[in-house]
Amino acid sequence: MTTEQAILNGIAVFLTLCIFSFLYRDNPFYKFAERLVAGVATGYWTMLLYHTNFTDKVLTPIFVRGQLHYIIPALLGVLMWTRFSKKYAWLSRYSIAFYIGISSGVTITVTLYTFLFKQLQATIGMPITADYAGINTFLIVLAVVSALVYFFFSLPHKGAIGTVSRIGIYVIMIGFGAGFGMTVMGRIALLVQRVIFINDYVRGLVAFIGGS
């Protein structure tokens, strides 16, 4: 560990502890760190957008490569700034309209293909055989259909529909339970990483002080 690393990582540890202080209650240290990161994050993103997006996709194409057709989307992008004016805010709708129209047109086909057709194909396209895999295939069909029936509100959930819908909610609960179990792992991982970071720093600092 160098002196610079000791100082910079020391600041990082201090800021980490500032955030952890929120666990006791909201306090000025937490607020300080929270606002600092908001400013730094915005500054980082501003420069990232300027250097790697605005320069590469707007300035260079128009002024260096002479691709003048980029002037049209650039002007539409500038129109977005009229949102700050009450009088001219409606002009920004033209830009939004291009964005929304193009996105919507593209979305329909790929969404139906990915979320519906491929999923349906995977559900009913497998043979139901008299072995372990076949039983699972049958259970998948049953579980998917019953969970779909649970979300289908155009028919009253009574009689046979009610029974299938009841199976559906159990399937969904198993799904949520699995999600919760996995979430615990994820959240703990985030905390553990900070503990390892502080531990590494303290050990490094002790060795650094002892060695100097």
Residues 80-99 that bind another protein (CB under 8 A): 80-81, 83-84, 89-90, 93-99
By CB under 8 A, name the one of 26, 27, 37, 68 that touches another protein: 37
Contact flag: residue 68 with another protein (CB under 8 A): no
By CB under 8 A, name the one of 169, 204, 205, 208 that touches another protein: 169
Site for another protein in 93-152 (CB under 8 A): 93-116, 118-123, 136, 139-140, 143-144, 147-148, 150-151
**What is the smallest separation between the CB atom of 98 and another protein, expressed in angstroms?**
6
Look up tokens 């949102």; give the residue. Answer: 83
Asked if residues 123 and 138 have their Cβ atoms less than 8 Å apart, the reply is no
Give the count of alpha carbons within 13 A of 123, CB side only: 16
Residues contacting residue 142 through CB under 8 Å, at least 6 positions apart: 167
Residues contacting residue 129 through CB under 8 Å, at least 6 positions apart: 137
**What is the smallest separation between the CB atom of 210 and another protein, expressed in angstroms?**
19
Look up tokens 């500032």; give the residue. Answer: 18
**What is the smallest separation between the CB atom of 50 and another protein, expressed in angstroms?**
8
Give the count of alpha carbons within 13 A of 146, CB side only: 19
Number of residues that bind another protein (CB under 8 A): 126
**What is the smallest separation between the CB atom of 153 and another protein, expressed in angstroms?**
11
**In the complex with another protein, which residue's Cβ is closer, 86 or 158?**
86
Contact flag: residue 160 with another protein (CB under 8 A): no
**In the complex with another protein, which residue's Cβ is closer, 63 or 81?**
81
Residues contacting residue 166 through CB under 8 Å, at least 6 positions apart: 157
Stretch that binds another protein, among 30-38, 154-162, 204-212 (CB under 8 A): 30-38
Rounded distance, CA 47 to CA 174, Å? 45
Rounded distance, CA 162 to CA 168, Å? 10
By CB under 8 A, name the one of 124, 155, 174, 207 that touches another protein: 174
By CB under 8 A, name the one of 68, 124, 155, 191 that touches another protein: 191
At position 179, the amino acid (one-letter code) is G
